[in-house]
Amino acid sequence: MATQLAKQNWSGKISTLTIGATKEQGGTRAHAVEIGGEESLPFLFPEGAIPNKPRIAFEIWDVPPKDWTEELVRHYGKVFLDPLEWAQMCVKDYKAELLCLRLQGAHPDCADRSADKEAQLVGRLLKEVDVPLIICGCADDTKDNLVLPAVCEAAKAERCLIGSASQDNYKTLVASVMADGHNIIAESPIDINIAKQLNILISDMGLHLERIAINPTIGALGYGLEYAYSIMERSRLAALSGDKTVASPFICFVGQEAWRAKEAREFGPQQGIIWEAVTATALIQAGADLLVMRHPEAVKKVDRYIEELFRR
């Protein structure tokens, strides 16, 4: 007699979030990308629909990064001085379907770029490439409150994913995202209760929960990955059990965390590529819907991994 596996019937589902707006949707993107929508835990296909694969965005900066390893510089060093060329390389050479622009140059301790200058950059980038954009500030709350509203306006109707909103600094960004038709990243410090509270605060301002992506602030392999995994898993279990306040897709900044690990920097280029790829694949199993990555070889490995999971 054949043994049948027990199946869990879930009452909830993960929200579906769309990044990018095509011409028919009022924007200029060649395509839109949908993430989320799961009705089961990761890759348990018999238990519920999993309509969208995890997606990968290539990370680019508005200024040359000073702390990227020689291996990353080998791939991107020729275009570091021009973010438009960097974006074109990712799209044309590495077939990126999403880009994540980090406006690090706006930070007061970096280039201290003005809101107008960053808004102009975003406007030019939207003309140079036609893939959907994720746009992140410089992580200085005061400066982001000046820069990100200008950036939202420059990208009006393109339905970008803008971040990050935190519990102490969300009101200005939420208002701008609502005014210009974008989605928002809600960042919480590996804490399910803070993630839930922040989503409630954002939705209380009038932005629908379906327009929020959660950044759970992950750790890389060997640097808190297990704890991040457990928090993401708890959030996903709560969401599938019917808690809509945590039923948002996850965005994970894998490249940022993986490439600052000592093991990724000191033991040769292949070690860094593996560190990023293994961190990404583990987080996919925890429920990650959107991965922001750096090395094209790591992206290629993770793409193959995702395709194999869905093929089965």
CATH number at residue 99: 3.20.20.20
| pLDDT at position 1 | 57
Residues 251-279 have a mean pLDDT of 93
Cα–Cα distance, 172 to 141 (Å, whole number):
10
pLDDT in tens, 206-237: 999 999 999 999 999 999 999 999 999 999 99
pTM of the model: 0.96
Q: Which of 28, 29, 52 is nearest to 40 (CA)?
A: 52
Residue 42 covered by a domain? no
List the single range of 2-6, 12-16, 85-89, 94-98 with lowest mean pLDDT. Answer: 2-6
Residues 90-94 have a mean pLDDT of 97
Residue 109 covered by a domain? yes
Phi, psi of 4, rounded to the nearest 5 degrees:
-105, 130
Domain residues for the domain of 250 are 52-306
Residue 77 covered by a domain? yes
Residue 185 covered by a domain? yes
Residue 272 covered by a domain? yes
Phi, psi of 293, rounded to the nearest 5 degrees:
-125, 170
| pLDDT at position 2 | 62
| Domains identified in the chain, total number | 1
Q: What percentage of the chain exceeds 70 in pLDDT?
A: 99
Q: How confident is residue 238, by pLDDT bands cut at 50, 70 and 90?
A: very high
| pLDDT at position 255 | 97
Residue 98 covered by a domain? yes
Q: Are the CB atoms for 152 and 182 separated by under 8 Å? A: yes
Q: Is 161 exposed, middle or buried (0-12, 13-18, 19+ CB in 10 A)?
A: buried
Residue 142 covered by a domain? yes
Q: Are the CB atoms for 185 and 161 separated by under 8 Å? A: yes
Element (DSSP H or E) covering residue 19:
strand 16-19
